[in-house]
Amino acid sequence: MNTLLSFRRVFLFVFVAAGLFISSCETTVDIDIPFEKPQVTLNATFLHNAFPKVRLTYSRHILDTNWEFEPIKTAEVKLITGNETYFLNYNEESGEYSNLQYLVSEDTEYTIEVDLEGYEKVQATEMVPIYVSIQDLVYNGKGQQDAWTSGDDFSLIFNDPVGEHYYEISAYYVRREHYINEYGEEVYYEDNRTIYLEPKNPSYETDFFLDGGIIIDDKLFEGKQAKIDLFTSGNFMELEDRGEIYFVLKNISKSYYDFQSTYGLQDWNDGDPFAQPVQVFSNIENGIGIFMTGNIASEKIETGSGQN
């Protein structure tokens, strides 16, 4: 018999036998990974002259396959301001705790307290900023951002109060139309689109997107008149449908600024294994989440007019 062929047969037999032996010794071990008690997550944004609303959920474990956050429906939620206390009731439809008999006021401090069985008292305190009006909204014409891109050129002007302040600036386009349906009824609808803003001053640029808007502090103009020059993401002023462009100036709390900055940066870095980890800001005691406040001013300009 061929010696090489014989050797191959013996080697194959030994290899198969070893495989059978190893597979017969294989043991499946189930490892229980403990799920820690979920934390109470509180999210609330209080705006001047709006109803107070608070969303409560349980946090999810990183290995939890349920992508829905479980709402908390049985908590006692109190809103405290000065010597007054208001109770917020759970609304099944919105999934929030609210009080439709009370409106949030500017320049007022609020504390949210949450009592839930099995947990320490969860709470957070924030001051609602004062109103800062838009002094002027100037359309400077069509601007060339670079060799390939052009956009509407605007200047937003306002007076910054003395002290430390933070602002969120955004814009959106609204066009209202109507038509007659098959039943002869007049139907009205509204086309609402976000306008993405790009500041001319690089000091106001960020490494992340903020739903089209920008977020800034007042270090460059503290206590003075501010003039923020902006490009839009398109030439909306050339549209002839007589729509409206709204610019929104929101005076925001520092917590609002810190949360949006860290959340935006974390979202921007998502999927990048070499990015530095970002800890999202939270101001909730004995829980996680964010309680932030703001005060909104807005100004509109009609498209196709080329002027205020």
Tens digits of residue pLDDT in 31-71: 555 557 899 999 999 999 999 999 999 987 655 556 677 89
Query: CA nearest 244: which of 178, 154, 168, 305?
Result: 305
Query: CA nearest 150: which of 43, 50, 234, 51?
Result: 234
pLDDT at 279: 84
Does residue 254 sit in helix, strand or coil? Answer: helix
110, pLDDT greater than 70: yes
**Residue that is last in its domain, among 92, 127, 162:** 127
Q: Which of 29-33, 73-77, 151-155, 159-163 has the lowest mean pLDDT?
A: 29-33
Q: How many domains does the chain have?
A: 2
Q: How far is CA 32 from CA 29, 35, 284, in A?
A: 10, 9, 31
Alpha carbons 123 and 113: distance in angstroms, whole number: 4
pLDDT at 191: 84
Alpha carbons 165 and 252: distance in angstroms, whole number: 7
Rounded to 5 degrees, what angle do the CA atoms 221, 207, 149 make? 90
Rounded to 5 degrees, what angle do the CA atoms 164, 106, 114 make? 100
Residue appearing with tokens 């060799």: 147
Which whole number is the average pLDDT over 163-187?
90
| pLDDT tens-place string over residues 198-242 | 999 999 988 676 788 999 999 999 999 999 999 998 888 888 777
| pLDDT tens-place string over residues 237-282 | 888 777 899 999 999 999 999 999 988 877 766 666 666 777 889 9
Do the domain assignments include residue 170? yes
Q: Please answer whether residues 141 and 236 qualify as being in contact, where contact means their C-beta atoms are separated by less than 8 angstroms.
A: no
Do the domain assignments include residue 229? yes
178 & 240 share domain? yes
Which whole number is the average pLDDT over 103-126?
97
171 & 229 share domain? yes
pTM reported for the whole predicted model: 0.81
pLDDT at 114: 98
Q: The domain that contains 62 carries what CATH number?
A: 2.60.40
122 & 238 share domain? no
4, pLDDT greater than 50: no
The rounded percent of the chain whose pLDDT value lies above 90 is 59
Binning the chain into helix, strand and coil, the percentages to the nearest 5 are 15, 45, 45
Do the domain assignments include residue 138? yes
Q: How many CA atoms lie within 13 A of 160 on its CB side?
A: 21
The rounded percent of the chain whose pLDDT value lies above 70 is 81
Rounded to 5 degrees, what angle do the CA atoms 92, 110, 299 make? 85
**Cβ count within 10 A of residue 41:** 21
